Amino acid sequence: MKKLLEILSEEMGKAFEAAGYDAALGRVTISNRPDLCEYQCNGAMAGAKQYKKAPIMIANAVAEQLADTAVFSQVTAVAPGFLNLKLSDTFLSEYVKQMSREEKFGLESPEHPKTIVIDYGGPNVAKPLHVGHLRSAVIGEAVKRMERFAGHKVIGDVHLGDWGLQMGLIITELQERKPELPYFDESFTGEYPKEAPFTLSELEEIYPTASGKSKVDEEFKAKALQATADLQQGKRGYRAIWKHIMDISIADLKKNYENLKVDFDLWYGESDSQKYIPEMVEKMKRDGYAYVSNGALVVDVAREDDKKEIPPCMILKSDGAAMYDTTDLATILQRTIDFQPDSIIYVVDKRQELHFEQVFRCARKTGQAAENTELKFLGFGTMNGKDGKPFKTREGGVMRLSSLISQITDQMYEKISGNEALGAEEAKTTAAQVALAALKYGDLSNQASKDYVFDIDKFISFEGDTGPYILYTIVRIKSILNKYREQGGEISMDALTTPSNDSEKDLYMQLAQFNSMLEAACEELAPHKVCAYIYDLANAFNRFYHETRILTEEDASKKAGWIALLALTKDILECCIDLLGFSAPEKM
Ligand code: ARG
């Protein structure tokens, strides 16, 4: 279905043409003087020079052509040559009615759907999920859902950090604690135990201890580095420990992501790229790209026109261990082989921008990515506390994601447990549901690249630009629709009439923006545009609602029309929050 502005511009273009001017001048935009008009066209101003005529003459001539238009209810040429426009109510309501019948509310599917891999989440195995990983999960999930809805084939990959030094650190620490384990016995050839030699909570203690040690104890650090290299080269006992670490951590990660309503198609990790590394490295050497510098194997990626220094990509350390650059390059190769993607999108902290710049350049230079594969870095800003510094616990430590979520959920529960319509059980699940919306909306409503302040009190408020406000609006509509049904009413989109006052028309206009808004949001990978839209839509609805007595309306067809308008508003709001990765309860 065509976008509203396209139709308006076409109509205007025809009028320019009929008046003897270039149709391209008929571009219509949203009014920047909403007090005067809804839309405007500045084509007469633009055409004045070309046609050597006063703009107002052109504007008048064009307006004349639109005397009988079905699209506009008002076309006014005003000095010095603007065309101020208002939409015809009938045209608008027909457009919205059409939208309600269309699949995806009139958003057109792409002619050539793309295959897109989204790399997001990026948790590090054996380290607890912390708030730093929250943004990646929340933004990545929204982008994935949006692109999928748009009609692309989207593959979400969690890309676990499971191949780096943290593994060597854990192995080394474990060896110091339990040297008698068979994993450390070089002569052991039997089967290793099925049961892991540690629990999740032990594991969560082992890593920070080992990491702390490595910072003060050179020998320990050297051992850990060696263990990392040995693991990567396939040492049997270490692989077996690694497998235990993976099993335990992944089970826990899955639970955490499930609570966040974040869902990955692939649970691959850095380690899965290992099998592509030897061959990739050989080829880089053969092709003359990789060379040894200070003992390490590197590929230059600097360009003459660089404004800042771009260091070489590190392919292998002197001990042969793979680096962060290496696994990312091999993963690009892996994805190229598996999916031939049109695009790979990385949703990662923007402080890693340089790393990705190096990797992308190296991937292009050495041919890990196909030429027509777009490599895109969607870098996000830091989540700060109210003090403007990166978010911490009250004690100043790194905040665990699970504690953060339970904190918001508890506060939300306090807020809604007073609602007597909710039973005790329902209050709990509702609190969790609304808390998730508060958390995700609080994040997603900011442009991803910007830092933002994590302010629980603000995020959980039922008023203002918040997730709970959006949910509250949906719940309000649901309750009206339920009452209507109880009165014996049936909901049908065919009942949509034409707007009878300004607030109703405004609601229609908001609804009609859906396809163009979503197209732009998908194009720009910008969930914040969806948030801004539903906030405007919720406001438009609430204004209309406060001015209109819907259920007591005597005129049945008027009432049915309003009900249809509400139902469509609810459907679109729910569609949008689903794209953002949360849902609305029945009551709250
Ligand atoms: N594990 C990394 C971290 O915690 C993020 C991974 C991002 N994705 C990637 N392909 N490098 O910093």
How much distance in Å is there from the Cα of 355 to the middle of ligand 1?
10
Which ranges of 183-271 would DSSP assign to H, the alpha helix? 200-216, 218-233, 236-259
Q: What is the CATH number of domain 401-580?
A: 1.10.730.10
pTM of the complete model: 0.95
- Which whole number is the average pLDDT over 13-20? 97
Residue bearing the CA closest to ligand 1, atom 2: 122
At 568 the pLDDT is 98
For atom 8 of ligand 1, which residue has the closest CA? 122
Summarize pLDDT for 214-254 with one digit per residue, the tens: 999 999 999 999 999 999 999 999 999 999 999 999 999 99
The amino acid occupying position 221 is K
Tell me how far the alpha carbon of residue 397 is from its chain's centroid.
27
Among 39-53, 413-427, 465-479, the least confident range? 413-427
Pocket flag, ligand 1, residue 173 (CB < 6 Å): no
pLDDT over threshold 90, residue 418 = no
Q: Would you place residue 397 in the very low, low, confident or very high pLDDT band (cuts 50, 70, 90)?
A: confident
CA distance 112 to 100: 25
User: How does pLDDT run across 144-183, given as a tens digit for each residue?
Assistant: 999 999 999 999 999 999 998 999 999 999 999 999 999 9
The lowest-confidence range among 403-407, 443-447, 566-570 is 403-407
CB atoms within 10 A of CB 137: 26
In angstroms, what is the span from residue 122 Cα to ligand 1's centroid? 5
| CATH code linked to domain 4-87 | 3.30.1360.70
Tell me where in the chain the CATH 3.30.1360.70 domain(s) lie.
4-87
In which residue ranges of the chain is CATH 1.10.730.10 found?
401-580
* CA atoms of 335 and 330, how far apart (whole Å): 9
- Return d(Cα 588, Cα 569) in angstroms, integer: 19
Pocket test of ligand 1: the residue of 118, 120, 124 to mutate, having most ligand atoms within 8 Å of its CB, is: 124
What is the DSSP-derived secondary structure letter of residue 86? E
What pLDDT was estimated at residue 439? 96
Whether the pLDDT of residue 101 is over 90: the answer is: yes
Asked whether residue 99 carries a pLDDT value surpassing 90, the answer given is: yes
| Residue 290, H or E segment | strand 290-293
Whether the pLDDT of residue 528 is over 90: the answer is yes
Q: Once rounded to an integer, what is the mean pLDDT over residues 297-321?
A: 95
Average pLDDT over residues 59-82: 96
Rounded to whole angstroms, the maximal C-alpha distance in the chain is 95
CA distances from 287 to 275, 293, 365, 540 (A): 20, 17, 10, 61
Q: Residue of the nearest CA to atom 5 in ligand 1? A: 122
